[in-house]
Structure 1
């Protein structure tokens, strides 16, 4: 999907959340309102990409391979995170927010994701 297509999905979800009493601008920190709206909008909540979806048994392998690719490209501080919120993920920067690792990680992530996907990992 393109970023524009993804934004449309999240716009619909955020509109649903607002219709059900929660928005980022007015309800920050109101867990009760947020949970109520999330429950009402579960059908509008966009699914993560299949290769990052924690319900995909191969998603962890995909993320691990992307992290290895990033390390091979010189990203020193990149770690695979445990699945949270139904999404497998990774983070850059380490405990000191190393700016070089963040910059290189952001630069090389799309290429590494394409390389890993082309090898069929995560599918």
Structure 2
């Protein structure tokens, strides 16, 4: 069984080899058999902040803190996502600009497994 998850509900996506974990604002997570690169192409309004993280800019609190040489991006659900050192300046600039998505986010989504542990 699969279900449709609108992109507007997705907080972040974490790459895990040839799979990706999708985290929603409802606290659900789904493992899908798509690479982060594939999802980045299909969700162009998400920001690539690290080699293993895509984030939805709608859920960024807007603050980057440095902890032990690592930059962290705080999301609305109080989770932190690591920002790559080489992307820190770009992410800071994007946070100041907060551009509107290229595609209306309400019209895009992903098909994910019904169960949180099922791989599809």
TM (norm. structure 2) is 0.28
Larger radius of gyration: 1
More contact order relative to length (CA 8 Å, sep ≥ 6):
2
TM (norm. structure 1) is 0.27
Between structures 1 and 2, the one with greater helix share = 1
